[in-house]
Amino acid sequence: MNEQPPPTFEELKAMVGQDLSVSDWVLIDQQRINRFAEATGDTQWVHLDAERARRESPFRKPVAHGHLTLALVAALGQTIGAIPENTQAAINHGIEHVRFLSPVLVGSRVRLHSKLLAVDDVGPGQYLIRVLNTMEVEGQQTPALTCECLTMFYERRARRTS
C-alpha cells in the first residue's frame, strides 16, 4: 500500500505513463467466492463445489468468478493512494479492453498493479482519468486479468461565503 500523500490533479497529469502503485495482497477464499455467487446469482459448480471441482475441473479446485476478480479492481484501486487530493467525487466512467488471462483458484492471493495512461481535462474541475490495471496472482507469471478503467474525477471547489 502506498504511504505517499495523495497527488494534486496537476501532479497526476505529470505522472502519465508511470506506474501508480501496487495494492496489498488479498486472499480469494471460498467464503468470498460464495458471497459473490450469492450476490450475483452465478452459482456454477466450478465456483462453489469443491468436491466436484476435484473430480471434473481441469484446475482440481474451485475458481473465482472472473467478474469477482474484475470487481476487486475498484476496491483495490482505492487503496493505492492515487486519488488526487481535493477530490469531491470519483465516478466510474467505463472499463475497456478487459481480458481474463488466467483463473484465480480458491486460496490464491491477488493484488492490483496500476499504471496511469491519461489525465484529460473535460471541463472546469473535471478530469477523465484512464488507468491500466493488472490483477496479479501470487506465484503466477500470467496475471488474472488486465483492463483499462476510466474514472471521472470532480475537483472540490472552494465554497463561497457571503
CA dist., res. 15 & res. 7, Å (int) = 9
Domain annotation covers residue 120:
yes
Query: Are 68 and 36 in contact, with CB atoms under 8 Å apart?
Result: yes
Is 160 a domain residue?
A: no
Cα atoms in the Cβ-side hemisphere of radius 13 Å centred on 55: 4
Q: Is 82 helix (H, G, I), strand (E, B) or coil?
A: coil
Question: Dihedral (C-alpha) 125, 95, 25, 38: value to the nearest 10 degrees?
Answer: 120
Running DSSP on this structure, what letter comes out for residue 29? -
The C-alpha atoms of residue 127 and residue 14 are separated, in whole angstroms, by 14
Residue with cell 446469482: 41
Which tens digit of pLDDT belongs to each residue from 105-135? Answer: 999 999 999 999 999 999 999 999 999 999 9
| pTM score, whole prediction | 0.88
Residue 63: DSSP 8-state: B
Does a structural domain hold residue 76?
A: yes
Structural domain includes residue 52: no
Number of domains in the chain: 1
Domain span at 139: 9-26+65-155
Q: Does 3 fall in a domain? A: no
The verdict on residue 44 lying in a domain is no
* Amino acid symbol at 27: L
State the CATH number of the domain containing residue 93. 3.10.129.10
Decide which of 137 and 12 is more confident: 137
Kindly report, residue by residue over 58-105, the tens digit of the pLDDT. Answer: 999 999 999 999 999 999 998 887 788 888 999 999 999 999 999 999
Q: Whose CA is closest to 145, among 42, 44, 76, 56? A: 76
71: in domain = yes
| pLDDT at residue number 162 | 54
Q: Residues 105, 63: contact at Cβ < 8 Å?
A: yes
Confidence of residue 145 (pLDDT cuts 50, 70, 90): very high
pLDDT digits (tens, 9 = 90+) for 7-52: 888 889 999 999 998 999 999 999 999 999 999 999 999 999 999 9
User: Quick check: is 161 in a domain?
Assistant: no
- Residue 57 · residue 46 · CB < 8 Å: yes
Per the prediction, the chain carries an average pLDDT of: 92
For residue 158, pLDDT over 90 is answered with: no
